[in-house]
Chains A and B, each alone.
Chain A
Amino acid sequence: MRLRLPFDTQIDAPSRFPTGIRQVIARPPIPGLKLAFIVLNVIGLGLNVAIGFVVASGALDDEWYDFRDLGLAVGQLREGLDDRFDPAVSYVVTMLIGGVGILSLIGVILILLPWVERRLLARFQVRRGPNRVGPFGLLQPLADAFKLMQKETVVPRGADRFIYFLPPVLVFIPLMLVWGVVPWAPNMTYVDTNVGVLYLIAVGSLSTLAIFLAGWSSNNHYALLGAMRTVAMMISYEIPLSISLLAVVLLARSMQLSEIVAWQADHHAWFAFLMPFGLFTFFFSSTAELNRTPNDIAEAESEIVAGFHTEYSGMKAGLYLAVELGHAVATGAFVSTLFLGGWSMFGLEQWVPPYVILGVKIGLIYFVLVWLRSTLPRFRLDQLMAFAWKFLIPLSIIYVLVVAVEASIFARWDVPGLIPLAAYAVFNTALAWVLVRRWSGLMGYHPGSEPLRPVMATGVGGLRAARQLRGEA
């Protein structure tokens, strides 16, 4: 007698959508789709190459060299509007463009990102990841969002209601704000403030406040523990983050992010080569700010269930998860912008649109973040704090001093830029190597000093045999 369920769960039935690349290649679902896909891509590629030729030949001068750089188009639009209407009109229009732009960017990212993360994580874990809901499981984030939205939001008794409802909104705001200063192309930045780096640090620390409010208002020991850990960790790691940014700013002589990228493009040198330790510090501190493994002690699932968002259910929890992913991509954007050259790629940006280059770099950094998450265990809180205060901060300060000296030499020395920069790259790398080894030795870290494998015994015994083994070993 077969058990009749109200719905038919066919767990073993094959998915109606193609679930693997082989299935798609073997049997495209819509006839002609493959051909259309190839044709469109060839056309797109050809168009880009043609534009690249035109740009390289110099036919379009500085004023409008590349219409793929949307910033120039927007600039032209604003001038046009200013000529004809009130200045307020162009202000409102650009505001709308900026707002819609950021929101659509974040929207697309947050719809695609959970899928990418879960498939990638699964690949690291010898399994497949979501592949049922939609072709290749692409509709999974939508299914998750819908599921979370239709869940009952359970507010714990004793929770401070206003402070309880505030943090999910509050934590989303920095995510939106922080995308405003990312330069996508030479003239394409939403808000090109000349204190971009300062803005980045300031806005990035807003989420700390939101997390603490979440943990406090939940009336739950786990949440409180998680919130305390988060605050301690995030505050500690703000400092090395800012110091490594300081090193970048010193050499680039500007806090404006588009200027920093332009410096890297002009000098054909990325800050990743010039100050590798700064890159490491920034990257590691970002993982701490993001609460991602190896620094996810704040929401260490194996100990405190879910940390500060234990008591949040439904879309509130969904917002936290979404924001964590969005921040991860934002970190990718900033690492790429500040250290990996942003939209520049040693001249390739004439052929390939600069925002595509930046997108690829962001993808690479995100891949590294997921890689770290899936393979590394997590640090304990006191180990994290010790690492920040006793290791990263002193070394970053030493590094900044060295870079400051280098920057002032660079400003005064009258030699083609590549020579001192190459020297700086070599010197900084060697300095980082030496410093790290010496300092960690000072801190009492001596790898390889203790044998790691157990002793193999062939007989049995008790305490006497144990003492013998200890005496021998």
Chain B
Amino acid sequence: MPRASRQLEGTRVAERLEAAFPGVVTRSNDEWVEVVPARVIEALQWLRDDDELDAAQLSSLTAVDRHNHFEVVYHLQSLDRNHQIVVKALLTDHDTPALPSSYPVYRGALLQEDEVYDLFGIRFDGHPNLRRLFLWDGYLGHPLRKDFLQLEGRFPGLPQFPFEEKGVQVR
């Protein structure tokens, strides 16, 4: 079941997307649709222009580092039909990830792609002015990657909160 109340089921979206562009969908489940990174523009444009799915606005564009691949997550929403669609693109090249920029489809992706480039190092081809947004030009590395801090075999995260065993009830 999708989590948000107006989120469309990924399988339904995947069916229609696959019908329009065979081979563009790699996987889908309840919550999201995964597409081939190189063809993400086609998919987004079709989703935007389709009458029933009508993903008129890009709500959020972000990325997650999953150790051996990157996920670029697009949250789309339709204002007229009042539903949300989640599209993901998996990038397996961990050193120089790249995929087409969605600026031609959604102008609101302009600064969000800059941010993803800055913090993850994912290049967006076709972006008018891809630059580091928060950090300066000569900054080495991309901070939100899990291997950024090089902490001797351990990745950022909190395996165990020190006071966890002090009981379930808080008071």
Q: Which residues of A contact B (CB under 8 A)?
A: 460-465
Contacts and interface: CB of A to CB of B under 8 A. Distances in A.
Given A462-B54, A463-B56, A463-B80, 11 more contacts: A460-B82, A461-B79, A462-B56, A462-B57, A462-B78, A462-B79, A462-B80, A462-B81, A463-B79, A465-B79, A465-B80
Nearest to B56: A462
Contacts of B79: 460-463, 465
Interface of B: 54, 56-57, 78-82
A462 B81 CA distance: 8
The 4 A-B pairs at the shortest CB distance, nearest first, are namely: A462-B79, A462-B80, A464-B80, A462-B56
Contacts of B78: 462
Contacts of A463: 56, 79-80
A270 B56 CA distance: 67
Contacts of B56: 462-463
Nearest to A465: B80
Nearest to A462: B79
- Mostly helix, strand, loop or mixed at chain B's interface? loop
A460 B54 CA distance: 15
Contacts of B82: 460
Contacts of A465: 79-80
Contacts of A462: 54, 56-57, 78-81
A461 B79 CA distance: 5
Contacts of B80: 461-465
17 contacts: A460-B79, A460-B82, A461-B79, A461-B80, A462-B54, A462-B56, A462-B57, A462-B78, A462-B79, A462-B80, A462-B81, A463-B56, A463-B79, A463-B80, A464-B80, A465-B79, A465-B80
A465 B81 CA distance: 11
A464 B56 CA distance: 11
A461 B83 CA distance: 11
Nearest to B77: A462
A357 to B, nearest CB: 63
A189 B167 CA distance: 91
A422 B79 CA distance: 67
B98 to A, nearest CB: 32
B166 to A, nearest CB: 31
Nearest to B81: A462
B59 to A, nearest CB: 13
Contacts of A460: 79, 82
A462 B79 CA distance: 4
Nearest to A466: B79
* A460, A461, A462, A465 interface centre (most CB from chain B within 10 Å): A462
A295 B54 CA distance: 49
Nearest to B54: A462
A26 to B, nearest CB: 53
A465 B56 CA distance: 13
A460 B80 CA distance: 8
B152 to A, nearest CB: 38
A461 B77 CA distance: 12
B77 to A, nearest CB: 9
